[in-house]
């Protein structure tokens, strides 16, 4: 299956599941392919045939974008090396959850979350430690008795009851012994998921020298500005007091700039963010809801209200 067909299939699946899906980010470099939202769940998705193409730089960028846009980054892929991704299994690459289209179908359409995740050493499950302890005590089994049944140490059983995850084989043994479900789903939409391999948000990249003027203005009027490296926009700006985010592009006004502005607008609709594109000369007020502002105008802005009013005016004046 071609990557384009795979992206189309995943997009159709998400739409069938009730997600609003953005246009595909078809301009390089790109850290994600589409954004999607259903209710309060916002996703940034990279869609790959071979997940080995997902590198550390892209993973770091997606995690930063997820943090600033209140979204969950994830990768949907078919295989790694010469092996197909196992259905119902969550893999993690560079701190981002990765799973197959079948697993995505179960999660988003059938609303059945995965129970297994891959980590160094094999496949594991989250054990519901409280249920395990209750089941053991109800049978009046000691830690030693359960350890003997499982063929592990007493200390290992104690760790299971303290929250340590177990291999798939041990989990199956436990469920056979107690005839009760003891596993908890892998919550890929939870930022505090303990099986992620790296919890800290990576540092922002260095500002492109060409964008320093725009970043300076945004910072001066009170935004916290986060430069990007591989996104279709140059920065994400946050206003802590208003709890709002803004996507910003910056370049000469070209056909590529117009494409970026359209993608920014589409992503903005999904992530509920305003988008603005700073250009040398603006031949129109906006592109599909992304306001166009000339750099000279940008440099004259005095405060956030001035910028908000200018963006609003441009968007409202955009030809239908």
Instruction: Delineate the domains of the chain, giving CATH numbers in brackets.
Output: 3-114 (3.40.1350), 123-184 (1.10.260.40), 209-317 (3.40.1350.70)
Calculate mean pLDDT across residues 68-82: 93
What is the total residue count of the chain?
320
| β-pair partners for 91 | 98
278-288 tens-digit pLDDT:
999 999 999 99
Please tell me the predicted confidence (pLDDT) of residue 320: 63
Of 76, 15, 45, 70, nearest in space to 271 by CA? 70
Between 241 and 236, whose confidence is greater? 236
CB-based contacts of 229: which residues, under 8 Å, 6+ apart?
Answer: 29, 31, 57, 61, 205
Please tell me the predicted confidence (pLDDT) of residue 319: 74
Report the percentage of the chain scoring pLDDT > 70: 96
**C-alpha distances in angstroms, 271 versus 37, 65, 70, 274, 294?**
7, 11, 8, 9, 25
Band (pLDDT 50/70/90 cuts) for residue 57 is very high
Of 270, 317, 274, nearest in space to 40 by CA? 270
CB-based contacts of 120: which residues, under 8 Å, 6+ apart?
Answer: none
| β-pair partners for 38 | 41
Residues 64, 197, 34, 256, CA torsion sign: positive
Between 317 and 282, whose confidence is greater? 282
DSSP string, 156-225: HHHHHHTT--EEHHHHHHHHHHHTS--EE---TT-TT-TT-S--SPPPPPPPPGGGHHHHHHHHHTT-EE
Please tell me the predicted confidence (pLDDT) of residue 318: 76
Of 234, 283, 294, nearest in space to 258 by CA? 283
Report the percentage of the chain scoring pLDDT > 90: 79
Calculate mean pLDDT across residues 50-79: 95
Calculate mean pLDDT across residues 136-143: 92
Band (pLDDT 50/70/90 cuts) for residue 195 is very low
As a whole number of angstroms, the distance between CA 106 and CA 18 comes to 14
Instruction: State the DSSP H helix or E strand holding residue 263, giving kind and residue range, or none if neither.
Output: helix 255-271
Reply yes or no on whether the pLDDT at 188 is more than 50: yes
What is the average pLDDT value for the chain, to the nearest integer?
91
Exposed / middle / buried, residue 86 (Cβ in 10 Å: 0-12, 13-18, 19+)? middle
pTM over 0.85? The answer is yes
């Amino acid at each position: 299956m071609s990557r384009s067909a795979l992206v189309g299939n995943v997009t159709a699946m998400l739409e069938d599941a009730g997600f609003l899906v953005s246009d595909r980010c078809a301009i390089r470099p790109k850290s994600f392919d589409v954004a999607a939202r259903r209710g309060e769940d916002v996703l940034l998705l990279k869609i790959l045939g071979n997940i080995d193409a997902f590198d550390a730089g892209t993973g770091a960028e997606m995690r930063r974008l997820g943090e600033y846009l209140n979204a969950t980054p994830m990768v949907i892929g078919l295989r790694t090396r010469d092996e197909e991704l196992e259905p119902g299994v969550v893999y993690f690459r560079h701190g981002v959850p990765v799973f197959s289209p079948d697993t995505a179908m179960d999660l988003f359409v059938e609303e059945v979350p995965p129970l297994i995740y891959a980590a160094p050493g094999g496949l594991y499950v989250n054990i519901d430690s409280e249920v395990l302890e209750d089941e053991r005590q109800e049978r009046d089994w000691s830690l030693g008795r359960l350890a003997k049944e499982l063929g592990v140490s007493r200390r290992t059983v104690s760790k299971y009851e303290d929250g340590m995850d177990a291999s798939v084989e041990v989990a199956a043994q436990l469920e056979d012994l107690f005839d009760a479900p003891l596993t908890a789903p892998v919550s890929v939409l939870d930022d505090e998921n303990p099986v992620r391999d790296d919890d800290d948000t990576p540092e922002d990249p260095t500002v492109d020298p060409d964008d320093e003027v725009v970043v300076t203005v945004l910072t001066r009027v009170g935004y916290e500005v986060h430069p990007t490296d591989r996104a279709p926009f140059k920065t994400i700006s946050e206003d802590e007091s208003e709890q709002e985010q803004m996507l910003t592009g910056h370049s000469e006004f070209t056909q590529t700039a117009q494409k970026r502005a359209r993608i920014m607008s589409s992503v903005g609709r999904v992530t509920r963010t305003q988008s603005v594109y700073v250009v040398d000369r603006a031949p129109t007020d906006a592109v599909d809801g992304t306001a166009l502002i000339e750099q000279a105008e940008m440099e004259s802005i005095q405060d956030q209200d001035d910028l908000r009013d200018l963006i609003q005016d441009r968007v409202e004046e955009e030809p239908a």
